[in-house]
Structure formats: C-alpha cells, structure tokens
Amino acid sequence: MQSRPQNLSEQEIIRRIKLNKIKEIGIESYPAASYHISSCVKKLVENYKEYAIANIAGRIMRIRIMGNASFSVLQDHSSFIQLYVRSEKISNYNIVKKLLDIGDIIGVKGFIFKTSIGEISMHVKNIVILSKSLRPLPQVKSDRQGKIYDVFSDIDLRHRLRYVDLIVNESVKTVFCLRSRIIETIREFLNKLHCLEVETPILQNISGGASALPFITFHKSLNIPLYLRIANELYLKRVIVGGFEGIYEFARDFRNEGIDRTHNPEFTILELYVAYKDYYWMMDIMEKLLKTICMKIYNNTEIKIGNKTISFTQTFPRIPIDKSIEAYTGINISGMDEDSLRKVCKNLHLKDDKTMGKGKLIDNLFSDKCENKYIQPTFIIDHPIEMSPLTKKHRKKRGLTERFEFFINGNEIANSYSELNDPIEQLKRFKEQLQLAENGDDEAMFIDYDFIRALEFGMPPNAGIGIGIDRLVMFLTKTTSIQEILLFPQSKTKA
C-alpha cells in the first residue's frame, strides 16, 4: 500500500494520481507549444454568430458529467462560457470524463450555439490540456434552503492567496482593472499638459523628501548603507533644475510604518512638478483631474459611497488648517508656541511626547479632530512652516507656507506645495529637522547636501504635488481597505 504523502489532502493526492495517468497515456500536461486563441470569451458572446468556429482557452470552473455527455464552465480573463461535450464527437472523451478537474486550464475548439433556454455555449470538438491543477479551488455551495457554504471570503487568506482570490471572486478582478484604467487616465491627462514621465532611484543615499521612518539596506560592493526611498521629491526637483518644465513619476515608495486600512509599508504615489506655477494653479489642476477621472470611470461627476453622494461638480472648498482646527476644537492655535500646543494636545488627550515638535503637534491635532470630517473634496491650505520644511513661505501670511492637503471621504489623497527654491532657506529648514532628529524624532528629514547644491545652481519656481494612488483608487472603487486594491499587500509570513 502506497504511503500518504505528508501535508497533501485527499483531493491533492487524487489529482496527482490523475496527472500520472495522463502522462502514462502519453499526453503532456504542461505543453511548451503556443496555443492559438481566436477570440476571448466576452467578444465571442457579444458578437454571437451561430455555428461560428472558435478556439478559446481558460480555466474549468464547473464540471457536470452526464454519462456520454458533459457540461462545464470555462473562464478566461474576460468572462465565462458553457462547454458542451459529447462522447461520439470527441476522441479523448474518457480524459474529459475521468481525468479533468475543476481548476485545470484547457484549450478548446468548437462551434458556438444557443441552448434551448437561450444560453450561448460552445459545442466542443477538441480539447487540449494546457495546465493540470494539483490543488482544488474553493467551491461555493448552497443547501436546499439556499444557505451558502465555502465562500472564499476570509480576508487574511484572500490576501495571502490573491491568485486564488482573483480566480474565484470576479469582483476582485474588476477592482484591479479599474485601478489600471485610473492610472491610464491620469497619464493621458498629464501628457496633454505636455509633462514628461520620468524615473528616479528607489535606492537612495539620503532618505529625503518626506518625514517618515525609512527601510535601510546595505550595498555590498560600495560598502555603504542605502535607503529604500520614502519619497522621490528631491530627485524630481533636481530634474526641474536640469531644465525640464513639467515632469511626473508613478513611484513605488517605502515607509517603515504600521499597517492599517489606509497604510501599507510600500505604496504607489504620483508626483508631479511644473515650473513657473504655484499651489493655486495646482489646486485648479487637481479639480480638473478628479472630474476627468470620474467622467472616464463612471461617466458622472458624482459618486455614491454608501449613503453619501460625493460631488466633483463645484469648486472645492479651500480651508486654512488653523481655521479647520478651530472649527472642530474651538481652539485658535494661530501664534501658539510649542509649549502651548503641547498643553492643548494634553488637554485633548492626544499624544504629546517630547520628540514631537510644533509641526507634529499641529498635525496630530488636525489628524485626530478634523481629518475624518471632510467627506466632500476639500483643500486644507496654508500650513505652518514647522509642518512644511520643503515649502515656500506664504506670500501674505507670516509664519505659514503655500501648501495644501487634499481630502475626500475623510482621507488625505494628495499633498502639494509652492516648492521652496531658496537654497539658503532650505538648508536652514533641514538643520531644524536635524534638531528634531536629535530630540528623538525618528521621522525627521536628513540634510541632503547634494540637493542643496542643485538648488544653488538655480531651480525655477514650481508647484509640486504627491497624489496617493492607492487611496485614490480606494475611493474611486468604493473600497474601504488599502489591502483590497493592492495585488499583494504586506502581511506576516506564515509557515
């Protein structure tokens, strides 16, 4: 008696036995040759022509054997179609009947017809095995009372086995198709502005461009530590120094922070920089971009999320951050020093430890008391200098900068500046960040002397923006968790 292999289920053993039988017959279960496909299933159904011959390929999702005939459902990347097979019409019917399983990938040739109930199907004349599946797929079942069983819905398992999730949950595939269309629409929009798509380093000598804790690695040949980028901002500004006037990058950034429904350690951000513009211009562009995306995806400038209707029709409100905090706390923070802000945070039971400077205390106040209140698209503008080390001082308001954060549905989607291009002032701001680091703030910025040198050659005034693509996709696909719009979200490895 053959011993049972360790860790294999009964179904997995049966499938391996079938695999061996297929090999014994002399059929290759994983052939190397290309398989000719004449049409995807969706187009075949949409352009239905009775008795038209077609070659299609995909995965078997259901099988029902009825003696000398069988019905199955084949799924390709586009849709599903029913397959009808009769024993006298196909030479390898015994393989279909005894050795094929749900999950197997096959190529089929046959003609298209409608069943007596009007379902478009394929009458199969030939079947080729393209990949034998050795593990069973989750199969949704229901009892006579209509109760559903075995739905592949466990969140942790879905994220770990995303490939299975994509096979069995059609709505998941739709989300990632929408993500691709959103990014494509943004590219088209920016290209029409005559902006150039560029690429900048992921491995960086200095972890700069944002306030965040980096991932650190080591380059063996150069014998130096390197950082996975937390932002691509400072490199893109170097490109502006070099003479390009409109550039953008879809960047994969990395921040060594916690994981929750809006944060993942690696994420996608679009950064755009346009010379001779300011943050007012960028607010106008952001409004136009959002309206363009909504029309492209939904053919509407209003989106319903639950019982909320979010509108992109009107000009978005522009609210100074101190006015926002006052509106939701009753406290006017204008002109407050660090000690006063610390007392405010303490009285409101917010974090106020000694590593937090003035900028972080204000950010903490806003994040906790205000951020989730902005359901309709809103610009929060004119942040204090301490919150914005890479931003120009406000042309009219002392102690503030020309910066906005953009919010939809209670989440920050974008961050934008009139970019600081004074090298002397920028070095001063970096040194203030260094002081915060010495006080224990592990998210404070490094001094990037090469970036200062670039500014000393002269950088034209410009407006920059970073748009969180993952959060934008979450909103536009009406998804509540960032893990649902990442193909492979980060999680602990399980044995």
C-alpha 125/C-alpha 84 separation (Å) is: 9
371 annotated as a binding-site residue:
no
DSSP string, 333-397: -TT--HHHHHHHHHHTT----TT--HHHHHHHHHHHHTGGG--S-EEEE--BGGG-TTBPBPSSS
Calculate the dihedral angle through the C-alpha atoms of 450, 453, 454, 459, rounding to the nearest 10 degrees.
140
97 to each of 20, 91, 102, 448, 478, how far by Cα in Å? 16, 12, 12, 68, 43
Which among 440, 473, 334, 446 is positioned nearest to 390, based on CA atoms?
Answer: 446
The DSSP code for 400 is B
Contacts of 259 (CB under 8 A, 6+ apart): 265, 489, 490, 491
Angle (CA) 314 306 294, round 5°: 40
CA distances from 150 to 141, 255, 366, 491 (A): 6, 36, 44, 23
Q: Is 88 annotated as a binding residue?
A: no
- Measured in whole angstroms, the distance separating CA 425 from the mean position of its chain's CA atoms is 36
**CB within 8 A of 348, min separation 6: which ones?**
329, 365, 368, 369
* Two structure tokens written together for 470: 């993952």
Burial (0-12, 13-18, 19+ Cβ within 10 Å), 386 = buried
146: alpha, beta or left, given left = phi > 0 and alpha = psi -120 to 50? left
Contacts of 243 (CB under 8 A, 6+ apart): none
Taking alpha carbons only, the member of 242, 252, 315, 318 closest to residue 273 is 242
DSSP state of 488: S
Residues of each annotated binding site for Mg(2+) = 405, 412
Residues of each annotated binding site = 405, 412
